[in-house]
Amino acid sequence: MDNDRHPDSRHATMGDARRSLDDALALMRDLRTRCEWDAAQTHQSLRPYLVEEAAEVDDAIAEGDDATLRDELGDLLLQVLFHAVVAEERGAFDAHDVAGALVAKMRARHPHLYGDGVKRNWESMKANTRRHIDDGLASGLPALHRAHRLQDRAAGLGFDWPDAHGPLAKVREEIEEVTAHIGEVTDGAPSPALEAELGDLLFAVVNLCRKTGVHAGLALDGANQKFVRRVRAMETLADARGQTFRTLSLDEQDALWNAVKTDERTRAPET
């Protein structure tokens, strides 16, 4: 959503009077009454903004910038309140119902704190309410995250490796199966068998991540950032040597890669 669409609802300073969620809800209702753009929105039209704002919150967390995180969380909260007020106008539910559903769900997730005192696995409890493993799982989730959640749900059904050694062996098995299909081409494209085996390999790697307590999406995001950082450093090093990175041979580029990695190790703080 445009940052300047509602200048009075963004970037509050610490010197402003403390505001409550009721203040934010009242503002949202007022905007629906007096702002032409806000009044025209529906649940459907707001869908892209919800996804965009969630992504911007994620970026702020990754950057470790508290001021930006505060503002982006406000933008995300705006989307929650927006949908609640639209639903309120339709007579479907209101913000208090949303809060009530949240409280009820959190209490149900923590029976050892708010119930009978017995701690239970959430996925195991939810498994009893689902007919299929993917029931209620958002279809638009990134593939790595969706794989992680499906494996979590399978674990809730008892279908899981006892430790990380099982998925590690599965990764090795899938690598062998990929190797058997490397180079296969069908109608000028990689064969369906190769694509399927690569998919199985990725799924197995996600499972290995999950069993070691690592989220595959976060791990890959970190690897992406590291790769970008290193390639930029390679380009800078090539420029400093009077070279053009893209015209270097693969061996020359690889030498730059190793030089950058060595420099990173040298600069890394001792632990």
- Number of structural domains the chain divides into: 2
- Is residue 259 in some structural domain? yes
Q: Is residue 63 part of a domain?
A: yes
pLDDT along the chain (271 residues), means of 10: 45 63 95 96 93 92 93 96 97 96 92 86 79 89 92 93 97 97 87 95 97 94 94 96 96 96 83 40
3 state SS for the chain = CCCCCCHHHCCCCCCCCCCCHHHHHHHHHHHHHHCHHHHHCCHHHHHHHHHHHHHHHHHHHHHCCHHHHHHHHHHHHHHHHHHHHHHHHHCCCCHHHHHHHHHHHHHHHCHHHHCCCCCCCHHHHHHCCCCCCCCCCCCCCCHHHHHHHHHHHHHHCCCCCCCCHHHHHHHHHHHHHHHHHCCCEECCEECHHHHHHHHHHHHHHHHHHHHCCCCHHHHHHHHHHHHHHHHHHHHHHHHHCCCCHHHCCHHHHHHHHHHHHHHHHHHCCCC
> Among 68, 89, 107, where does a domain finish?
107
Q: Tell me, what's the pLDDT at 1?
A: 47
119 belongs to a structural domain: no
Q: Whole domain around residue 29: which residue ranges?
A: 7-107
Question: Does residue 160 lie within any of the structural domains?
Answer: no
Rounded to two decimals, what is the model's pTM?
A: 0.70
Residue 198 included in any domain: no
The whole-number pLDDT of residue 270 equals 53
Q: What pLDDT is recorded for position 205?
A: 98
Judge whether 174 lies within some domain: no
Looking at 63, 89, 107, which one is the last position of a domain?
Answer: 107
Among candidate residues 107, 125, 147, the one where a domain is terminated: 107
- Look up the CATH number of the domain holding residue 46: 1.10.287.1080
